[in-house]
Structure formats: C-alpha cells, structure tokens
Structure 1
Amino acid sequence: MQCEIMAKRLAEAEIALKKALRGASEKDVLVQSKECIQRELEDARLSLETHKQSIAILEPENMMLKKECQHLKKVIVEAERRCRQELQAMRERHRARFVEATAKLRNQYKSLAKRARALESQLTKNYDAMMALNSELQSSQGTIGALKTSVKDLVFQNQELLEKNISLQESSAEVSRFCGYIDKIRGTRLESP
C-alpha cells in the first residue's frame, strides 16, 4: 500500500517537474525547482527502497502466515466435517434409542393394559362370587336359625330321655332288689320242712 502511495507521489513529482520546466521563465527558478524535485524524487526512491526491503523482509512471514491460514482453513473444514458426522451419528443414536424406548414403553403399556383387564375380569368374578356367597349366607342364616332351634329341641328331648333313662335305671334297680328279695323268700320257703 505504501509502495503504491510512494509511486504515485513520484509520478506526481515528475509531472510537477515537467510542468515547472515548461511554465518557468527564469533559469534559477527552474534549477531550484529541479533540485527540489530531484531531492523529493531521491527521498521517494529511498523511501520506496526502504518499503521494498520491508516488504522483502515481511514476505516470508506473509507466506508462512498464508500457509498457516490455509492449514487452519483445512483444519476448520475437517473439524466441521467431523462435527457434522458426529452430530449425525449422535442424532441417529438418539433416534434409535428413542424408537427402542418407545417400543419398550408401548410393550409395557400393552402388558399392563392386558394385566389390568385380567385383574378387572378377576375382580368382577370375585365380586360375583362374593355376592353369591353373601346371598347363600343370608339364605343359610334362616337354615342356621332353624338348625339351632332343632338342636335346642333335640337337647331338650335328650335331656328328657336321659332323665327317663335314669329313672328307669333306678326302677330297674328296685325291681332287681325286689326280685332278689322274692327269690330269697322263695328259697327260704323251699328250705323249711
């Protein structure tokens, strides 16, 4: 950039020198202008040479920076490519896991729904059985009451029979004693002359 500026200044100085040479009437003015312009030209040449040397010094560094920049661009492109691949692979893995988890949850839901229906059916059966048993229990309560009454009657009859049996046993003992007494009397009569 500076080289272009210096070259432009040099061209402008040359144009000014030519104009001064054409338009000047006095020789001293021309000489002074020429010397001034020549000094400016020399300064411009020196400055241009200095800038060329600076450019020559910076050129290897610029080339190295360009190479490094190209290398970094390649690295960035490769990193972007790897990132896209990894992102795609990650998306596919997550999609596969999501599909697998969804299928597993769907199967679990189906299994739980089936079990819930079975439990509901069993609950209905149990309720029906419980209602039937309750009905039987209610109907059997009357039978139990009747059986209790019958048992009480049987106990009462048994008690009466027991009492009669005891009295019969007592009567039988008295009869046995009486018979023994009679036998004894008969035996005494037989023994007497």
Structure 2
Amino acid sequence: MPPPPADPSPKSLAILEAASRVFLAHGFSAATTDMIQREAKVSKATMYACFPTKEALFAAVIERQCAGTHQAVSAIAVVPGNLAKTLTDIGLAYLRIVLSPEGLALLRVIVADAPRFPDLARRFHLAGPRVIIGMLAERLGQAAQAGEVNVQAVGIDAAAALFISLVRGEGQLECLMHPESHPSAEQLDRWVRLAVTTFMAAFGTPGRGTQAPASPVMA
C-alpha cells in the first residue's frame, strides 16, 4: 500500500478532508470513491492522481488523524522532578483526542472493518497507539534515569503501554457503549488522575516524582 503524501497539496488536503467526513459517517466498506469525489468537488482523475485506491486514501486519513494526536502529546514538556504532573498533562492531551467525536468515530470504523481489512487496522495501531506509547516510553526513560520511577519489573515499553491503557480504558469504553455520552472536563480530569495515581503507586519512587499536580485549566 503506497504511503500518503508527506506534504499534501491543497487539492490532496481537500480530498483528505472530504474523505474523513465520508469515512467517519459511513464506514470504510460503505463509503465509495464517488461519494468522496462529490464531497471534495474534484474530478475522478484528480482524486486518483493523488490517491490511487480507496485503501490508500483511508490510510492517508488514518495518518492525518494520528498526526494530530502525536503533535498534541509531543508538545507536552517534561516537568523535572514531578513525573505525576508530566503524566497528567500527557494523559489529558491524549484523552481529549481519543474521546473526541472524530477519535471515537475513527476507532469504530477501524474495528468494524478490521476482519476484512487487517492491514488498515494494523496501520492504525502502529501509527496511533504504538507511536504514543513510544513517546511516553522516552519520557519514562528520562524519569527512570532521574530516579523518579522504577519500572524494571515490567520494562519501560510495557509500563508506558500500561499507563496509556489506564488512561484510555474506562472512558473510551463508556463513550463507545453510550454514543450520546459527552464526558465533561471534570470527568476527563478524574479518569486521568486515577490513572496517574495508580501508576505512581505501582512504579513511583517514594519521595520522588509523586507530587500531586495542580488541577489543570480546561480548554
């Protein structure tokens, strides 16, 4: 499967935005290239010049959606000596995106079509959750070197994956099972704080990196 354009042209971007709306509204299988073409208001020749297949177009949509998550998490600065604050900031940035209407819709589409299109599901997993886990693992590695956390029992990558699962688990399941549910900023804060408290209780070094973070200002 060819990779999506690294730097989309205006027409490619218009097609991607149209494809995102169509895929998230109808799912991958039900969406057609004709629907996307009409939504993007471009010719078939233009669309196929940018994205030769529907699979390539959906892969580009996945990459674009995941890139927004990566940017939000990578912008979180490490707070030296206060790992709990760093984890809280990362957890909130991540949860706001995965529990957004777009984030939930993309996950529903991916899961629904995973048995028929496993390559696309795998692409999402590698471009999304696995990249976030890798980014968090880097920060945990820094905290481990500073003596703020001890994850030797499970390893840094496994500890990072565990934290992301703690952050995402209850909230994502609730939102998926109750589509009309829209968690408040306070609920997001509670879910993240519970994940941070549980993680630090398991891996935090007593007296290091465990300061309770101040309640964040919600956007």
Q: Decide which structure has greater helix share.
A: 1
Larger RCO, structure (CA 8 Å, separation 6 or more): 2
TM-score (norm 1): 0.22
- Structure number with larger C-alpha Rg: 1
TM-score (norm 2): 0.20
